[in-house]
Amino acid sequence: MKIVHQINQVKGMIREVRQKGGTIGFVPTMGYLHEGHLSLMRRAKVEQAVVVASIFVNPLQFGPKEDLAVYPRDLERDSVLAESADVDILFVPAVEEMYPQGVKRFLTVVDVAAITGVLCGAARPGHFRGVTTVVNKLFHIVEPDAAYFGQKDAQQVTVIKRMVEDLNMNISIVTVPTVREADGLALSSRNVFLNVAERRAALVLHQSLQAAVRLLAGGCRSAAAIRAAMTALIAAEPLASIDYIAVVDRDSLAEIAAISGPVLIALAVRIGKTRLIDNMVWEG
């Protein structure tokens, strides 16, 4: 595995792969890798000749009061993990490499309307603009055949798919299932912020999704009833406070009242100071 910090160096390596006719799979991450990231890398390796992963904690997608400064970073550990998942090229640009004029003087943004103002976008204004802008840049740097994203960030997947479709980008977006701890907690780099009591309380996200599944399996088709059951379950946990619980169409992210087909059930919950998300898709 090669670790590369310069855009031009990555572009040069990508050109060589292309000249030999190799396909490229890409896994963009913010690092502090866990089994969820590694599952994306392994999936990419199965499907593509060469796997490029990036580690970049993108300032553009953090709000002024968010956890940019304390977002966990550990390049040494990440390198070992990425190599263990057969990554060929690990691209780790500095902020100055991605935003040479500085983040505040960077002029071009890629913005997806409507579907970025709901769910996580409602609580994190500008977040998805930062995501689509940096992913657009990374897509041009790596020019992959396919890029791999985790289902855990369901809205991110929907938004990026829409960007790729709207801008006619020649990239397949592959969604890989959420990886969970044995007790159901979805893996997240932010889980490291949880103390023992919070770690236990964080189970309410998955438990509330399981409650939703039970209701759906029992024939309930009312989004309001499902949200109410999830809300009650989470409200019973003193360390948890709900940001949102949403029952929406997977592509438009529009709210669904009466469930008649596939539906995305997504939620964001603060456990102490840590904001966690989780979701499931009910195939209908």
Binding site for a second copy (CB under 8 A): 7, 11, 106-115, 132-133, 136-137, 140-141, 143, 162-163, 166-170
Give 220's DSSP letter: -
95/213 with CB nearer a second copy: 95
Contacts of 162 (CB under 8 A, 6+ apart): 112, 115, 251
Structural tokens at position 283: 């195939």
Is 205 within 8 Å of 276 (Cβ atoms)? yes
What's the number of CA atoms in the CB half-sphere (13 Å) around residue 131? Answer: 25
94/232 with CB nearer a second copy: 94
Residue 179 labeled ligand binder: yes
78/143 with CB nearer a second copy: 143
Contacts of 218 (CB under 8 A, 6+ apart): none
136/274 with CB nearer a second copy: 136
Measured in residues, the chain has a length of 284
Residue 261 labeled ligand binder: no
Residue 260 labeled ligand binder: no
Task: Decide if 37 is catalytic.
Answer: yes
Residue 30 labeled ligand binder: yes
**How far apart are CB 281 and a second copy at their closest, in Å?**
21
Q: Which of 115, 42, 126 is nearest to 85 (CA)?
A: 42
Residue 5, classed as helix, strand or coil, is coil
Q: Which of 35, 29, 31 is nearest to 138 (CA)?
A: 29
Structural tokens at position 217: 């399996």
**How far apart are CB 207 and a second copy at their closest, in Å?**
34
Q: Which of 37, 127, 140, 206 is catalytic?
A: 37
* C-alpha to C-alpha distances, 177 to 233, 266, 273, 276, 281, nearest whole angstrom: 24, 14, 26, 17, 10
Sign of the C-alpha dihedral computed for residues 240, 226, 175 and 182 taken in this order:
positive
Residue 273 labeled ligand binder: no
Residue 152 labeled ligand binder: yes
194/248 with CB nearer a second copy: 248
**How far apart are CB 160 and a second copy at their closest, in Å?**
10
Which amino acid is located at 41 in the chain? Answer: M
What's the number of CA atoms in the CB half-sphere (13 Å) around residue 36? Answer: 25
**How far apart are CB 112 and a second copy at their closest, in Å?**
5
112/234 with CB nearer a second copy: 112
**How far apart are CB 77 and a second copy at their closest, in Å?**
28
Residue 6 labeled ligand binder: no
- Backbone torsions φ then ψ of 167, nearest 5 degrees: -95, 10
Q: Which residues pair with 276 in a beta bridge?
A: 269
| Numbered residues of the known binding site for beta-alanine | 61
Residues designated as active site: 37
| Numbered residues of the known binding site for (R)-pantoate | 61, 156
